[in-house]
């Protein structure tokens, strides 16, 4: 049977949808346990304060309150700090300076919303009332909130001068400075990359269960990577040994990075379950999500791009201060360094690049990976400065980019910032995007807008990203605390259907469909006969979860390898069944074929024989189940062009995004429908950053944008229909030829939109988000 409708390349409708559209999904908050209790966290109302005393007596008297646990209790139980998983080396070769991060604060609180105690009660309501009744004596300290002046402010953490976690660099400084000194033109730009708050629609949640009889712990939680969660909780925090802890991430309602990290709350919940002797459940209010989910972005950057007479880029120098928040979150250190500086070559042949990044602590929520993680920030810097250079030189922005692009014949291409791009065709995406937006017609559209009292602008972003973080050894050399491979296992059952286990995790990406397509295609088993299991350390051997657009390129590749092993073993069984030599048996479309004969056996027959070995090779183990760990040889490099067109109402300053085109090269595509959906979602987040979203703290470190009333999320009427398309150069080093598509939308679109807005307004820069108020002030000449 051919799998044309369900195999690789088919837009198969998602099987997970059936449960979601009927209300039958199972998210963490939908799970309940007999005898369960509820936790509420007691959080700091101050951005920086010393805890002098905690009085829980009133709280303990609240009806229904069972127990109150503080940071001191946790420390007394010997629980460790929440670790940062990536050690960044400083310019002088020394290690970055990590501030201790106890899951529950003990003596000092360092951001508004930092938890320092939890109340366990019979009901959610009682837990909350109890939390409100906890009386704490705080001694307020001066908070450090402003990123630009953080280094000159009071020291937040003992032993960390200048509030600096690290001073990092990449590239050749003297060569870059010399190139800039000799440049015919230098474009300079000061940019702010605004803080974002992820806001996955499902708030974080945890349900901890402790079995007294066996000492087993089970943690149900909203995680993008349950195995990593288990590893951190056992190896670092030491809540329970790894083999006694099962972490289950059931249906998870979006993550965008924010559910990668191991947080205080689930740590406290699983610990408390053993202390109370009953299951403990916690579900964040949206207000808690705003305060206590890791935020994203938040950079201040100065950039200089040097060009020669003809417009060729000769040097790029970037100086960035990155806000890390009050503590280093799990990957907070890596995002503004290895995931940022390494991307600054973009799609261009710039021969000299130097970047330095100061990572600083402030009294704000920790900052970590949010969709794109470092790559949108790099793209923003590069594509804003390139567009500005084109304007300063009176060049067409598409042409200037084109003449600097790395050409198809240049691959593999070693950039001056460590990466080796394997393949791409950047002009192909640029051309397709120019066509899609009708670039030729833009001048006429601009005039037509002007006639209606509106200003029209167009903006480009030609981005590149590095996905499928790899290879493990290199990453570990660069400071990663874990390997970056992925596991996959295919179990053929005796009746011939397959159960597939992957260590990557789906929280909206549709793995249950795409991974089934891959295995169905690879083994010639009907799509409906392949079940995909993920998100449970009790069922899946190991895995690193989902982040960095890695699932397909890394996790999918592991399944391809496991499939190869199934076929290899199957050939031996089939050869035996057909009384032939293994060398004469080949595999195609679910059948083992004997050369020069019309004999064949199906993979289902082989599976049956493997479990009921009546006639079976003597030296072969029964069973047909294979697993593989795939460790990527290199990053993958999705790239593309995003073009935005905006129209600004002169009277109101309102920015109307009239068109947004995204043409991306993701390599080979398994399910085009799902890929388009991923792009759409990323574009909305990228546009959100440019036009609507901004996480703002006031001088006292209070989060001003702490609810969905104050933090402006993109809604349906803020966005247009998107125009998306793909070009394909297959990744050269993984078995699927796939590169990853989860983040691209959010990487290119932000710069494209801001380039369009500044084009329309005729200004050099405007800080994001370009709200109507800001735009209106510019139009008024303020």
Partner 1 sequence: MKVSLTVNGSKHKVDVPSNTLLVDILRDHLGLTGTHVGCDTSQCGACTVHLNGSSVKSCTILAGQAEGVHVTTIEGIGSVTDLHPMQAAFRDRHALQCGFCTPGMIMSAIDLVNTSKGLDNRAVREGLEGNICRCTGYHNIVAAVLQAAEVMQGSSDE
Query: Interface with ligand FES by CB under 6 A: which residues?
Result: 201, 253-254, 508
- CA dihedral sign of residues 672, 676, 677, 678: positive
Do residues 12 and 97 touch, judged by C-beta distance below 8 A? no
Identify what 25 binds: partner 1, ligand FES, none; CB under 5 to 8 Å per kind.
partner 1
Q: For partner 1, which stretch binds (CB under 8 A), given 337-345, 408-416, 627-635, 708-716?
A: 708-716
Q: Which is nearer to ligand FES, 580 or 713 (CB)?
A: 713
> From CA 99, how far away is CA 95, in angstroms rounded?
12
Nearer to ligand FES, 612 or 708 (CB): 708
> Which H or E element spans position 408?
none
In whole angstroms, what is the distance from residue 713 CA to residue 646 CA?
19
Task: Tell whether residue 125 is a contact of partner 1 (CB under 8 A).
Answer: yes
CB of 178 to partner 1, least distance (A): 44
Please report whether residue 551 would count as binding partner 1 according to CB under 8 A: no
74 binding partner 1? (CB under 8 A): no
Report yes or no: 235 and 11 within 8 Å, Cβ to Cβ: no
Distance (Å, rounded) from C-alpha 47 to C-alpha 749? 33
DSSP single-letter state for residue 109: E
Q: Which range, of 76-84, 133-141, 248-256, 541-549, touches partner 1 by CB under 8 A?
A: 248-256
CB 97 within 8 A of CB 164: yes
Minimum Å gap between C-beta 630 and partner 1 is 25
Q: Is 695 in the site for partner 1 (CB under 8 A)?
A: no
Handedness of CA 596, 597, 598, 599 (dihedral sign): negative
Distances (CA, A) of 20 to 13, 363, 475: 13, 39, 37
The encoded tokens of residue 642 equal 């995003």
Query: ∠ at Cα 14 (9, 17), nearest 5°?
Result: 170
Nearer to partner 1, 281 or 550 (CB): 281
Which residues, 11 to 40, sit near partner 1 by CB under 8 A? 13-14, 16-27, 29-30
Out of 64, 83, 254, 351, point to the residue binding partner 1 (CB under 8 A). Answer: 254
By CB under 8 A, tell whether 704 contacts partner 1.
no
Q: Pick one of partner 1, ligand FES, none as the site partner of residue 766 (Cβ within 5 to 8 A by kind).
A: none
Cis peptide before 106 (omega within 30 of 0): no
Q: Which is nearer to partner 1, 20 or 411 (by Cβ)?
A: 20
Looking at beta carbons only, is 130 or 253 nearer to ligand FES? 253
Binding at 609: pick from partner 1, ligand FES, none (beta carbon under 5-8 Å per type): none
Give me the 671-690 binding string for partner 1, x by CB under 8 A, dash otherwise. Answer: --xx-xxx-xxxxxx-----
- Determine which residue in the list 200, 381, 691, 757 makes contact with partner 1, applying CB under 8 A: 200
Residue 286 lies near partner 1 (rule: CB under 8 A): yes
Separation CA 521–CA 560 (nearest Å): 10
Residue 70 interacts with, from partner 1, ligand FES, none (CB under 5-8 Å by kind): none
Q: How do beta strands 353-361 and 164-171 pair?
A: antiparallel
Q: Which stretch binds partner 1 (CB under 8 A): 144-152, 156-164, 273-281, 706-714?
A: 706-714
Q: Which two tokens stand for residue 415?
A: 């950039």
Asked if residue 413 lies in contact with residue 420, where contact means CB atoms within 8 angstroms, the answer is yes
R_g of the chain, CA atoms, integer Å: 27
State the minimum distance, in angstroms, from the CB of residue 197 to ligand FES.
Answer: 15
Provide the token pair at 12. Answer: 């198969």
Phi, psi of 534 (to 5 degrees): -150, 165
190 binds partner 1 (CB under 8 A): no
Residues 486-545 that bind partner 1 (CB under 8 A): 507-510
Pairing of strands 486-492, 108-109: unpaired
**Contact status: 91 vs partner 1 (CB under 8 A):** no
Cα–Cα distance for residue pair 403/382, rounded to 1 Å: 16
Q: State yes or no: residue 63 binds partner 1 (CB under 8 A).
A: no
Q: Which residue, 17 or 773, has its beta carbon nearer to partner 1?
A: 17
- Decide: is 122 part of the binding site for partner 1 (CB under 8 A): no
Give least dist CB 508 to partner 1, A. 3
Using CA atoms, how far apart are residues 236 and 481, in angstroms rounded to an integer? Answer: 11
Q: Which is nearer to ligand FES, 211 or 710 (CB)?
A: 710
- Of the pair 17, 52, the CB lying nearest ligand FES is at 17
Helix runs in 36-146, H state only: 57-61, 71-76, 124-133
Given the rule CB under 8 A, which residues bind partner 1? 13-14, 16-27, 29-30, 125, 199-203, 251-254, 256, 283, 285-287, 507-510, 673-674, 676-678, 680-685, 707-709, 713-717, 719, 721-722, 745
């Amino acid at each position: 049977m051919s799998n044309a409708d369900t195999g690789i390349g088919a837009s198969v409708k998602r099987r997970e949808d059936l449960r979601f559209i009927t209300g039958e999904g199972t998210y963490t908050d939908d799970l309940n346990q007999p005898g369960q209790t509820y936790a509420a966290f007691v959080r700091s109302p101050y951005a920086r304060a010393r805890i002098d005393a905690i009085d829980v007596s009133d709280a303990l008297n609240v009806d229904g309150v069972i127990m109150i646990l503080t940071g001191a209790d946790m420390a007394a139980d010997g629980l460790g700090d929440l670790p940062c998983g990536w050690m960044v080396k400083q310019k002088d070769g020394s290690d970055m300076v990590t501030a201790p991060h106890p899951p529950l604060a003990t003596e000092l609180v360092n951001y508004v919303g930092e938890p320092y105690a939890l109340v366990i009660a019979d009901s959610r309501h009682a837990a909350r009332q109890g939390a409100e009744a906890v009386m704490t004596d705080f001694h307020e300290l001066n908070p450090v909130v402003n990123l630009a002046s953080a280094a000159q402010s009071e020291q937040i953490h003992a032993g960390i001068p200048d509030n600096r976690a690290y001073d990092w660099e990449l590239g050749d400084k003297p060569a870059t400075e010399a190139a800039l000194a000799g440049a015919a033109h230098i474009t300079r730009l000061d940019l702010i990359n605004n803080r974002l708050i992820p806001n996955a629609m499902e708030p974080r949640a945890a349900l901890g269960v402790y079995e007294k009889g066996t000492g087993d712990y089970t943690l149900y939680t909203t995680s993008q990577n349950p195995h990593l969660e288990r590893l951190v909780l056992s190896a670092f925090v030491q809540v329970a040994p790894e083999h006694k802890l099962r972490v289950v991430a059931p249906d998870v309602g979006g993550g965008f990075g924010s559910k990668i990290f191991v947080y205080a709350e689930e740590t406290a919940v699983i610990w408390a379950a053993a202390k109370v002797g009953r299951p403990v459940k916690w579900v964040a209010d949206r207000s808690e999500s705003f305060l206590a989910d890791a935020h994203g972005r938040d950079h201040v950057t100065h950039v200089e791009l040097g060009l020669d007479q003809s417009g060729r880029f000769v040097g790029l120098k970037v100086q960035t201060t990155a806000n890390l928040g009050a503590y280093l979150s799990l990957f907070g250190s890596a995002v503004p360094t290895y995931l940022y500086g390494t991307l600054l070559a973009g799609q261009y042949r710039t021969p000299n690049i130097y970047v330095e990044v100061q990572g600083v602590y402030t009294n704000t929520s920790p900052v970590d990976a949010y969709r794109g993680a470092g790559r949108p920030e790099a793209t923003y810097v590069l594509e804003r400065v390139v567009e500005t250079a084109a304007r300063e030189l009176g060049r067409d922005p598409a042409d200037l980019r084109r003449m600097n692009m790395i050409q198809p014949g240049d691959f593999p291409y070693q950039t001056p910032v460590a990466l080796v791009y394997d393949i791409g065709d950047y002009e192909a995406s640029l051309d397709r995007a120019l066509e899609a937006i009708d670039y030729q017609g833009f001048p006429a559209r601009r005039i037509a807008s002007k006639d209606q009292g509106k200003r029209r602008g167009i903006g480009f972003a030609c981005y590149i990203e590095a996905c499928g973080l790899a290879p493990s050894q290199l990453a570990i050399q660069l400071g990663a605390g874990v390997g970056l491979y992925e596991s996959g296992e295919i179990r053929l059952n005796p009746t011939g259907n397959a159960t597939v286990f992957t260590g990557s995790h789906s929280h909206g990406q549709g793995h249950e469909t795409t991974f089934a397509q891959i295995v169905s295609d690879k083994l010639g088993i009907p799509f409906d006969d392949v079940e995909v299991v993920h998100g449970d350390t009790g069922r899946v051997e190991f895995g690193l979860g989902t982040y960095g657009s890695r699932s397909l390129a890394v996790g999918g590749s592991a399944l391809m390898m496991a499939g190869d092993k199934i076929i290899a073993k199957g050939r031996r069984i089939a050869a035996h069944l057909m009384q032939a030599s293994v060398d004469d048996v080949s595999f195609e479309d679910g059948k083992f074929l004997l050369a020069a004969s019309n004999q064949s056996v199906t993979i289902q027959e082989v599976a049956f024989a493997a479990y009921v070995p009546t006639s079976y090779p003597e030296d072969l183990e029964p069973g047909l189940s294979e697993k593989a760990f795939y460790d990527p040889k290199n990053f993958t490099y999705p790239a593309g062009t995003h073009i935005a067109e905006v129209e600004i109402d002169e009277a109101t300053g309102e920015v109307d995004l009239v068109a947004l085109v995204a043409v991306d090269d993701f390599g080979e595509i398994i399910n085009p429908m799902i890929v388009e959906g991923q792009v759409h979602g990323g574009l909305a987040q990228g546009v959100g950053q440019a036009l609507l979203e901004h996480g703002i703290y006031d001088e006292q470190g209070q989060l001003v944008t702490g609810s969905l009333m104050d933090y402006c999320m993109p809604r349906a009427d803020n966005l247009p229909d998107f125009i998306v398309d793909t070009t394909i150069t297959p990744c050269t080093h993984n078995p699927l030829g796939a590169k990853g598509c989860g983040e691209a939308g959010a990487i290119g679109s932000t710069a494209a939109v801001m380039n369009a807005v500044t084009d329309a307004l005729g200004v050099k820069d405007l800080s994001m988000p370009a709200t109507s108020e800001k735009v209106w002030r510019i139009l008024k000449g303020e």
